Amino acid sequence: GAVVSQHPSRVICKSGTSVKIECRSLDFQATTMFWYRQFPKQSLMLMATSNEGSKATYEQGVEKDKFLINHASLTLSTLTVTSAHPEDSSFYICRGQGAMNTEAFFGQGTRLTVV
Amino acid sequence: DAKTTQPPSMDCAEGRAANLPCNHSTISGNEYVYWYRQIHSQGPQYIIHGLKNNETNEMASLIITEDRKSSTLILPHATLRDTAVYYCIVKLGSRLTFGEGTQLTVNP
């Protein structure tokens, strides 16, 4: 099946710094990338949806200037957490979907810890 | 998207069938039922999906009631590696909305 490679798997950063998370679709073209966040013992919450070459659409309550999403190519999407704070510590997961896919292919997730 | 209701937790003995229920009483006619699972600290894994008919693949079987208001995911021979949170999702289009899921614990 299709694979979405997410990197890094774990990252620790200092408060006030920025962190970039990458998701690459390895054997299909991800026309749409979804970004989720998951706090401990909670379910996945959709943060934003991006289509290749377009600006991302953010869910209510998600700050677009804080969570910068780039989807400039069909195989790469990035999420940058800017000016990170401890409350941004979470598990971030991407999901790539191609034009013809009915399944959804998730990345492995990134555990972000802000200290 | 239609809301789903799942029991928060279930236990199953290794080697036995695990039957995970899901209620989706407000599902509309063109919404699919999807099942994913998430092993701790990993991304969700697709299991199976269906619209009206029962479905089976190498991982599981999906039984959807005739009125489509509920479904059951069946893992025929559960193993310890099947311990995970299982999410039942009603999906229209490409958007996935996750509920709380069921924590399945397979015991030796």
- pLDDT, position A72: 82
pLDDT of residue B3: 86
Segment A56-74 mean pLDDT: 93
**Residue A28's pLDDT is what?**
86
Given a contact cutoff of 8 angstroms between Cβ atoms, the answer to whether B10 and B101 are in contact is no
* Mean pLDDT of the A32-56 span: 92
Residue A103, pLDDT score: 66
Mean pLDDT throughout A12-38?
94
To test the contact with chain B by mutation, choose from A11, A44, A92, A94 the residue with the greatest count of B C-beta atoms within 10 A, namely A44
Band (A95; pLDDT cuts 50, 70, 90): very high
User: Residue A86 class from Cβ within 10 Å (0-12 exposed, 13-18 middle, 19+ buried)?
Assistant: exposed
Instruction: List chain A residues with CB under 8 Å of B96.
Output: 34, 46, 95, 104
Comparing CB atoms, the residue among B43, B95, B99 nearest residue A106 is B43
**pLDDT < 50 regions, chain B:** none
Confidence of residue A1 (pLDDT cuts 50, 70, 90): low
Tokens of A100: 């013809």
Residues 6+ apart with CB under 8 A from B54: B61, B62, B63, B64
**pLDDT at residue A78 above 90?**
yes
Residue type at B80 in one-letter notation: L
pLDDT of residue A14: 97
Mean pLDDT lowest among A26-30, A90-94, A101-105, B2-6: A101-105
Q: Name the closest residue on chain B to residue A49, using Cα atoms.
A: B95
Give me the pLDDT at residue A52, please.
Answer: 86
CB A47 within 8 A of CB A36: yes
